[in-house]
A and B are shown apart, each in its own frame.
Chain A
Amino acid sequence: MKRIHHDLKKVQKLERKKYHPLIHQVHKKHQISKRTLFYIKEYGSHSHVPRTIIRESIKILIFASILSSLGGLAFEQIKEIFISITPLIILLPTLNGMIGGYGGIFSSKFATLLHEHKQKETLKKALKKLMLQLLIISLITAFSASLLALGISSLKHPATPNLAAKIIAITLIDTLLLITILFCISIGAGIYVWKKQEDPNNFLIPITTSIADFGNMIILAVLIVLFF
């Protein structure tokens, strides 16, 4: 036990950025998972926790803010049409959260599949199943959300059948297009990052959620102009 504490103290003192063979040695010797050792190295008593978190997150957060603001700018241009369609105002936060959520789920599950070192055929099969599942779920949730938004907005102004059909169509097209784009980006970027021997989790999740938000605003803006 004393030996473990001694070795863990040594891990804590390692420089944060570099991979050190000591991690592998402690992992082999004491059967402590590499994840635990990574956490100890990253947030151990020697490290300045806020500085570590801020340094690792700030760049991607600012990048995500710029991307989201660009998407928002597209929407600001069609503000007048947008605010005249109440169901779309109700749907906006839902669509943003929902599509970003699917991007996050797909990325993290794809990263796990890569980490599991499955054979090419098994990986393909698992990936196909995951894509089908997410497509079905996204269509169910998009359809339900648009129906609920129409129901809520009808308390103020009941929607005509034509408007209702347009809202449902916009929601479904937007969701389908973005989910497909996110699949392609996640798979391409995930394999690229994986081949560089880095953890796809750290890159894929923030990038897919930002692209989902940005893409959602742009595609939604285009669809609103096309339909109205």
Chain B
Amino acid sequence: MEKKKESLFDSNFREILASELVSIAGGLIAGSLLAWYTNQLILLPGILILLPGFLEMRGNISGSFASRISSGLFLKVIKPNRIKTHIIKGNLLASFFLALVVSLTLGILAFAFNYFFLQLVTWKIIIIPLIAGIIANAIEIPLTLFTTLYLFKKGYDPNNIMAPFITSTGDVISIVALLIGVFIL
């Protein structure tokens, strides 16, 4: 019986728990920013329609980006000291392009839902995620690349560290970028 308990709380358990505790810290900082700027951000019609997708985008795009770079590093197809290769350049370009497309899609969806379900016409809701997407990904994508390469050079497995890193930094960067987008417009 005791042996069963021991195996349940193994190193796997500890690793997942530690990484999840790190990622909830980023989420709480982002949530606190949302609560602090409720009047400027959440009161905007349709912002809650695009918010979950906007927060998810960093995991879907930067997470896959980090994972592809990590695989390339382990397979020795990518060298940690050489950034100007066609694989890395292609990955950067594709990630930025996907981020722009997803941001625009989210904006259009929020506009459409606002129009059809809430009978509101708010053009701003298309532009805000686009501006925020450009700002957030201009920070997040290079940060992901350099952190992945740095971790690999230091002998760590980026796969174990990048997911919680992207979640925690991405949440904060995304909310700050959305706030900047709102303030610009």
- Residues in A lying within 8 Å of B, measured CB to CB: 35-36, 39-40, 43, 45, 48-54, 57-58, 61-62, 64-66, 68-69, 71-73, 75-76, 79, 82-83, 86, 89-98, 100-102, 104-105, 129, 132-134, 136-137, 140-141, 144-145, 148-149, 152-153, 156, 206, 209-210, 213-214, 216-217
Interchain CB contact under 8 A, B32 and A90? yes
A-B contact pairs, 17 of them (CB 8 A): A45-B86, A49-B86, A50-B90, A58-B98, A69-B52, A69-B109, A76-B113, A93-B34, A96-B52, A96-B55, A97-B55, A97-B167, A101-B163, A133-B16, A140-B17, A145-B27, A206-B60
For the complex, give the distance between the alpha carbons of A71 and B50 in Å.
Answer: 9
**10 closest pairs, A vs B, by CB?**
A49-B90, A94-B27, A68-B53, A90-B31, A53-B94, A72-B49, A50-B94, A69-B109, A93-B30, A68-B52
> With contacts A83-B38, A90-B35, A149-B28 known, is A61 near B16, CB below 8 A?
no
Does B139 belong to the interface (CB within 8 Å)? no
Query: Is B61 an interface position by the 8 A CB rule?
Result: yes
Contact A94 B28 (CB under 8 A): yes
A104 touches B30 (CB 8 A): no
| Total interface residues in chain B, CB < 8 Å | 65
**Interface set of B (CB-CB < 8 Å, partner A):** 7-8, 12-13, 16-17, 20-21, 23-24, 26-28, 30-32, 34-35, 38, 42-43, 45-46, 48-53, 55-57, 59-61, 64, 68, 71-72, 75, 77, 86-87, 89-91, 93-95, 97-98, 101-102, 105-106, 109-110, 113, 117-118, 163-164, 167, 171, 175
| Interface contact B31-A92, CB-CB below 8 Å | yes
Cβ-defined contact, B71 with A49, below 8 A: no
Partner of B94, one of A36, A54, A73: A54
